[in-house]
Amino acid sequence: MIEYDLIIIGGGAAGLFAAARAAESGLRICLLEGMNQCGLKLLVSGSGQCNLTNAEDIRSFPERFGPAGNFVKPSLFEWSNRDLVGYLEERGLPCEDRGDGKIFPVSRKSRDLRDLLQKICQKAGGEIFWKSPVTSILREEVGFTVRSKGKEFSAARVLLATGGKSYPGTGSTGGGYALAEGLGHTVAAPVPALTPVLVRNFALASCSGTSLEVSIDLYRSGKKAGSYQGDLLITHRGFSGPVILNNSRDMAAGDELRICWCPGWDRQDLDRDILETVSESGKKSLKSGLAVRGITDALMQELIRRAGLDPSERVNQLSRKERNSWVNVLFSSSFTVQEMGGFNQAMVTSGGISLKEVNPRTMESRICGGLFMAGEVLDVDGETGGYNLQFAFSSAALAVKTMTAE
Ligand SMILES: Cc1cc2nc3c(=O)[nH]c(=O)nc-3n(C[C@H](O)[C@H](O)[C@H](O)COP(=O)(O)OP(=O)(O)OC[C@H]3O[C@@H](n4cnc5c(N)ncnc54)[C@H](O)[C@@H]3O)c2cc1C
């Protein structure tokens, strides 16, 4: 006897969204979540505030997903950022653009989104089982049998939404890959993505929490290997922020990062600026006389030290050599990558279920009919800025649409 129309495995962003949509559409569903509550990763997303999508035109989303760009198109276009925000607002969760295109719940609480999706699901008759890690999925003549802690559940269809391998404490331990392999799928080796870098002998720990726009040249074995510009976040042990996270896949231990703290400036203009300060207000301290927009006092202090200058000097005491040394530090401070953050620090996982084996127009497996996939369990990873959550929601919505249209 088939108990359910659909069993959803994993109650993260994708699983919860699918559960809400499917239950609302009248499917008999159950959601099996391994942890004692759903959406633990959703709760930490966007520092607990949940950057759930981006205000950018949906047509430019696919390019945020690198090689998976073509795969994500049908689901993103089927269920766009506008559809998502409209859906949530209609159900009582107002959202807003923070001013930089990143969209958050107005309450700035990830929990509100998690609780809303859970409530929609349960109100429409969906059943949620917590502390129910799934250990096997068996393909039967009709439908599937799913096992969890000695219990068996049966359904016509299964949606695998077990996420990736990053932040394993949230329940996303990569266990879903083995479930997919058991049904004949192949899995591209998972590697941490969107990771911070840890820097050798890091001397800017006192500036941790500082965020500013920089440009970075990446050098490997003395050769330039990349150039990036964007917001950098200084941490206790190195660097994070979009310019690092989004380009972390290019970086490796031993690489050199040359950071320019004043992108858009030109060396000569800066030198001229300093000379003007010397002639107009030469008695200023180095910290205020050399101040550059966007660089905090604490960072100024560290950079002055790095340039070998005496912070008690006045601007008009700077020798030409010292001025050059300062300009060099501002334009190219060198740091060596000690190591890249691992799965404990990675925001997402690169790798996962092979995209060739899943139909992007339906989210159904091409290998095992009735098996659907959504979210990060797939070999899809996007940039920071709300793109990963949007894909989790869009792929879940498309999977449910396929099931309800059948
Ligand atoms: C610190 C951090 C901040 C982030 N911030 C953002 C952000 O602001 N915006 C953004 O777009 N993205 C963000 N991300 C990425 C985003 O959270 C993920 O891409 C997204 O949550 C993936 O959703 P998912 O449903 O596919 O997987 P997950 O949310 O990882 O959910 C998978 C669920 O499956 C459960 N599970 C696993 N195996 C089993 C099993 N065998 N049986 C039963 N249950 C199982 C897990 O317990 C988990 O609840 C962030 C990630 C991190 C780590």
Nearest to 292 by CA among 263, 318, 314, 324: 263
392 in ligand 1 pocket by Cβ < 6 Å?
yes
Q: What pLDDT was estimated at residue 273?
A: 83
Protein residue with least CA distance to atom 35, ligand 1 = 10
Matching residue, tokens 């809303």? 116
| Spatial distance between the Cα atoms of 312 and 321, rounded to a whole number of angstroms | 17
Q: Cα(392) to centroid of ligand 1, in Å?
A: 9
**pLDDT mean values, one per 10 residues, the chain (406 residues):** 91 98 98 98 95 98 96 98 98 96 97 98 98 97 95 97 96 96 97 95 94 96 95 96 92 96 87 83 80 86 92 85 91 96 94 98 98 98 96 98 91
| Spatial distance between the Cα atoms of 324 and 318, rounded to a whole number of angstroms | 10
Q: What pLDDT was estimated at residue 249?
A: 84
pTM here is 0.90
Q: What pLDDT was estimated at residue 184?
A: 97
Q: What pLDDT was estimated at residue 25?
A: 97
Q: Cα(39) to centroid of ligand 1, in Å?
A: 7
Q: What pLDDT was estimated at residue 84?
A: 98
Q: Cα(25) to centroid of ligand 1, in Å?
A: 24
**Do residues 300 and 207 touch, judged by C-beta distance below 8 A?**
no
CB neighbourhood size of 179 (10 A) = 22
What residues form DSSP beta bridges with 231?
Answer: 213
Please give the backbone phi and psi of residue 264, each rounded to the nearest 5 degrees, phi first: 95, -20
Q: Cα(292) to centroid of ligand 1, in Å?
A: 39
Protein residue with least CA distance to atom 47, ligand 1 = 171
Domains plus CATH for the chain?
4-193+345-405 (3.50.50.60), 196-341 (1.10.8.100)
Matching residue, tokens 């790798």? 351
Please give the backbone phi and psi of residue 159, each rounded to the nearest 5 degrees, phi first: -115, 120
172 in ligand 1 pocket by Cβ < 6 Å?
yes
**Do residues 315 and 278 touch, judged by C-beta distance below 8 A?**
yes
242 in ligand 1 pocket by Cβ < 6 Å?
no
Q: What pLDDT was estimated at residue 320?
A: 87
DSSP reduced 3-state for 166: coil
Residue type at 166 in one-letter notation: S
Q: Which helix (H) or strand (E) holds 185?
A: none
Alpha-helical runs (H) found in 183-221: none
Of 100, 132, 347, 393, the one to substitute when testing ligand 1's pocket (max ligand atoms within 8 A of C-beta) is 347
What residues form DSSP beta bridges with 138?
Answer: 145
Nearest to 379 by CA among 391, 393, 390, 368: 391
| Spatial distance between the Cα atoms of 391 and 355, rounded to a whole number of angstroms | 14
Q: What pLDDT was estimated at residue 1?
A: 62
165 in ligand 1 pocket by Cβ < 6 Å?
no
DSSP reduced 3-state for 299: helix
Q: What pLDDT was estimated at residue 313?
A: 85
